[in-house]
Amino acid sequence: MFVARFRAALARGGGGIIGLSRTGHLRSVGGAVADVPADATAYAHRDANFSLVVMGDADEVVDRAWARLSPFLDGLYISFESSLRPERIAAAWPPRTLSRLRELKSVYDPEGVFGDNFALTPAANHPGGSTP
């Protein structure tokens, strides 16, 4: 059912992805990945059965097509994300996991040495912290 609905949405509004895309993957996840509690590690959204990855030449075209597909999607795996918009961090981790990661950042990297890609800010309630 999901694949048929997804394919129909792609055909209606995501055609630009097919022509632009240099690569696209629909990966099976589930299985042993789902056996680990969602908040046990920084890899969230463990209940997803699939992971969708699409990369294209024109961000605005991919973003428009992705917006049409978003009703079928929940969460994201940050290592596959190319947009550096801050709200992507909130989509990658549930609030408790993000809070725990910020706490760890406060302890192990309060100066932001590891600040590439999606650099987390330290938790505000720790020395060196900057955000709630």
In the prediction, which pLDDT does 17 show?
47
In the prediction, which pLDDT does 103 show?
92
Give dist(CA 82, CA 55) in Å, integer. Answer: 8
Helices 2-13 and 59-69, axial angle in degrees (round to 10):
140
Q: Which stretches of the chain drop beneath a pLDDT of 70?
A: 1-3, 6-7, 9-23, 117, 125-132
In the prediction, which pLDDT does 128 show?
47
